[in-house]
């Protein structure tokens, strides 16, 4: 959904159009849920955070600044909800996200990818690689983790990530570079193969 489409729906919401609110929720919910799930590692927490974030956003929709993307504002609200929840369990990171950042084919090492045709030795190696990716993500700062998730999993550009985090686009790029370097070094130190990173357009 483009920024113009978001603003059009918000104008309708401000006029009392409930269908517009439902359309906005449908458009934003998948990415917001994916983001909060990656942060928390718990589906139940992610669902609660998403629900509360939408309630707060729609209840305060008149405060939205149309100069920015609604999705950026919504994600900021969701992050506050998540932080205030003080979730005690450590996050379980998405290996696809980390693998993309590392340029590693072991992104497909998740336990859920079981295939009866895969020999047990190879499956054990894939599972071990997935765990290494999670460990690597755990070495990053909170801001670096968020940048990776938003860039690779949610497919935001560096400008929008910068707006969300309140930092310049150049700082976002620095976080990406340092996070990818740290992940790749962690994998290399533990004997995992680390191919070249495949960049995408920002």
Same domain, 72 and 105: no
pLDDT of 129:
56
pLDDT of 171:
95
Same domain, 72 and 126: no
| Number of domains making up the chain | 2
pLDDT of 193:
61
The answer for residues whose C-beta is within 8 angstroms of residue 8's C-beta and 6 or more apart is: none
pLDDT of 117:
44
Same domain, 116 and 143: yes
pLDDT of 93:
53
Question: 0.85 cut: is pTM over it?
Answer: no
Same domain, 67 and 105: no
Final residue in a domain of this structure, among 29, 52, 85 = 85
Q: What is the pLDDT of residues 107-137, one digit of tens each?
A: 433 323 334 443 444 434 443 556 777 777 7
pLDDT of 130:
63
pLDDT of 105:
39
Could you give the CA distance from residue 75 to residue 57 in angstroms, rounded to a whole number?
Answer: 10
The CATH number given to whatever domain includes residue 133 is 1.10.10.10
Token output for 170: 């150049």
Report the alpha-carbon angle 174-198-195, nearest 5. Answer: 100
Same domain, 64 and 116: no
The helix-helix angle for 18-40 and 3-14 (nearest 10°) equals 120
Is residue 197 assigned to a domain?
Answer: no
Token output for 84: 């205030």
Is residue 152 assigned to a domain?
Answer: yes
Is residue 196 assigned to a domain?
Answer: no
Report the alpha-carbon angle 81-39-132, nearest 5. Answer: 165
Query: Tokens 């859920």 — which residue?
Result: 112
Same domain, 138 and 62: no
pLDDT of 85:
76
Residue ranges of the chain whose pLDDT lies below 70: 86-130, 192-202
Is residue 90 assigned to a domain?
Answer: no
Final residue in a domain of this structure, among 85, 110, 127 = 85
Domain interval for residue 26? 3-85
């Amino acid at each position: 959904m483009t920024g113009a489409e978001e603003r059009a729906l918000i104008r309708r919401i401000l006029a009392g159009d409930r269908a517009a609110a439902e359309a906005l929720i449908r458009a934003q919910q998948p990415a917001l849920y994916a983001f909060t799930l990656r942060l928390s590692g718990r589906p139940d927490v992610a669902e609660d955070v998403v629900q509360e974030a939408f309630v707060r956003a729609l209840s305060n929709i008149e405060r939205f600044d149309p100069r920015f993307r609604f999705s950026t504002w919504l994600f900021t609200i969701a992050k506050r909800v998540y932080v205030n929840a003080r979730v005690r369990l450590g996050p379980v990171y998405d290996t696809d996200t980390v693998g993309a950042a590392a340029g590693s084919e072991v992104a497909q090492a998740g336990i859920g990818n079981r295939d009866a045709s895969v020999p047990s030795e190879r499956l054990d190696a894939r599972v071990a690689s997935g765990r290494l990716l999670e460990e690597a993500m755990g070495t990053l700062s909170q801001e670096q983790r968020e940048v990776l998730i938003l860039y690779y999993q949610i497919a935001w550009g560096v400008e929008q990530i910068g707006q969300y985090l309140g930092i310049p686009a150049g700082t976002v790029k620095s976080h990406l570079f340092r996070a990818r370097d740290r992940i790749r070094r962690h994998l290399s130190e533990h004997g995992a193969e680390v191919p070249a990173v495949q960049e995408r357009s920002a």
